[in-house]
Amino acid sequence: MITETISGFRLSPHQKRLWLLQKESGAAYVAQSVICIEGNFKPEVLKAALQNIVNRHQILRTTFHCLPGMKIPVMVVKDSSVLSWREIYLSKDNSQKFTITSICQEEKSHPFDFEQGPLLRCSLLQLSANKHILVVTLPALCADARTLKNLFAEISDSYSACLQGEDFSKEVVQYVQFSEWQNDLLEDSEAEAGKNYWSQQDFSALDTLTLPFADNFYQKTEFQPQVYNFTLSPHLTQEIKTNHRGAETRGGEGLNSNLVSLFLLSCWQILLWRFTGQAEIIVGKICHGREYEELNDVLGLFAKSLPITSRLNTDLHFSEVLQQVTQAVEEANEWQEDFIFEKNVESFPFIFDFEQLPEKCLASDVLFSFDTQYICLEPFQIKLSCIDKEEFLELGFYYNANLFSADAIHRLAEQFQTLLTSAIENPDVAISQLQILPPNQLEQLLIDFNQTQVDSPRNKCIHQLFEEQATLTPDKIAVVFEDKQLTYSELNQSANQLAHYLQKLRVQPDVVVGICLERSYLMIVAMLGVLKAGGAYLPLDPGLPKEAIAF
């Protein structure tokens, strides 16, 4: 019997969880960035620069191998790896077929070959002689948001080095070193304090946290991520950064990025509270997971979601919620190194992420700018992703398309923007009084939905109109009471039987019939039956004294 062996490295705790998630759901957990390149650009130099980066970082030459019987693979680092590279010229003839959006979607949805590789995919799109777009796609097993930003910086540096013939192979910290350290940390007795901190937290509120407009929440469990991106106006962005009076640190320099993040997270939790009515709101806040300076430039999966809990009620002011969220984030960050996801909670239904856009990089006479990114590291119902682009804030609602329609998410985005404006203008009012409905939704709710005036026929009674409806929709539900329901046909038939019985008792016009019943579907049958017989009904409360009923 021949036993095959694999020489490799253990996956980090983050990777192990993600591997099991993607095997279970089949969803594409992907990290992707779009980089704009302008100037006198040389594609062949960029390709060589990217190959240098692959040679420098082991995680870009890593494959994942599982032998029979193994649930978790090992990382195998190849000595060399050929870059996955393609060039597309977006001429007028193929611009419809190959758009930036369609190519990004194609790269995200195309499965990765984890055993063979390569896992880094690069598509260069030529828009004109002096403008190109580079789409960089990696599986989330190998990258997070910080990795994409590090890659962006290295691409411009490596491009410049290739142009000048300089060496770009200096030694860097490798991801497998971090992975081994993380696995050892799980067994380290010195980490017991952090483990105890998280084990004492109550995350039971996550089990019931869902939005009322989620579609078939219990029937559809497959994770199908989609995203709706939108941009806050420069005016609203400026208001958030400089005019928010709820922050104690407000001054001449306005809010720094951390306070902007806390403000947006507070608004996100308030909006969830307004919709769910649940007093305890838990949101998973994505942290970069690089607690030590040596890890800042390393490529790989470090990011994880930390639970941020807020306890909200109608009397709290926004400034109080902001203070509560700030304290919760500080405590979570203090113990983030010891948070092992699968040992505390299975997943967060709602997530928050905030990133700053990296600055533009100039390499010779070529300008590299970070345009957009797409990050999906775990399942969720909805994730609010925020990117600070200095002049404006770009927000994205990532959502499970099996739970929410695109229209529902668009409305949610409008409501969130309305809440942002209301919180800025009214930081000292109760959060229950903050406005969440934009003018168009408010008008629809108060005016459009109340346009119920109709021209009723003047020569027909209510029971005759009911008979017409029963003819049109005999199988539709007409009345529901507790666990009993009747269709229009069944209700009409029951009322007809009662009418015939009452006519035998000489019920006719000007004859009043008392109806003494507890509230139920039988009361509807009785009312229609009396009217069909030609009489008039008099409702009597069964709770009245017998003398009153007899009178």
Interhelix angle 145-164/43-56, nearest 10 degrees: 120
First to last CA, the chain: 99
Beta pairing partners, 37: 132, 368
* Continuous segment of H or E residues that includes residue 386: strand 382-388
Q: Per residue in 355-400, pLDDT tens?
A: 998 999 998 889 999 999 999 999 999 999 999 987 889 999 999 9
* Contacts of 329 by beta carbon, 8 Å cutoff, 6+ apart: 262, 265, 285, 308
* Contacts of 339 by beta carbon, 8 Å cutoff, 6+ apart: 194, 198, 304, 306, 332
* Continuous segment of H or E residues that includes residue 260: helix 257-276
10 Å CB burial of residue 239 (0-12, 13-18, 19+) is middle
Q: Report the C-alpha gap between 511 and 195 in whole angstroms.
A: 79
Q: What is the pTM for the complete model shown?
A: 0.77
Instruction: Determine phi and psi for 511, rounding to 5 degrees.
Output: -95, 125
One pLDDT digit (tens) per residue for the chain, 551 residues: 445 666 789 999 889 989 988 887 666 799 999 999 999 999 999 999 999 999 999 999 999 998 888 889 999 999 888 889 999 888 665 554 568 888 999 999 899 999 998 999 999 999 888 999 999 999 999 999 999 999 999 999 999 999 988 887 778 899 999 999 888 877 766 667 767 788 888 888 888 888 988 875 445 567 889 999 999 989 899 888 886 444 444 333 334 778 899 999 999 999 999 999 899 999 999 999 888 889 999 999 999 999 999 999 999 999 999 999 999 999 998 888 777 655 567 789 999 999 998 999 998 889 999 999 999 999 999 999 999 987 889 999 999 998 999 999 999 999 999 999 999 988 888 999 999 987 777 666 666 556 666 666 667 888 888 888 888 898 888 888 877 888 999 999 999 999 899 988 888 888 889 888 888 889 899 999 999 888 898 888 888 888 887 77
Judge contact between 421 and 241, C-beta under 8 A.
Answer: no
Strand intervals (E) in 105-261: 121-128, 131-139, 225-231
Beta pairing partners, 388: 356, 393
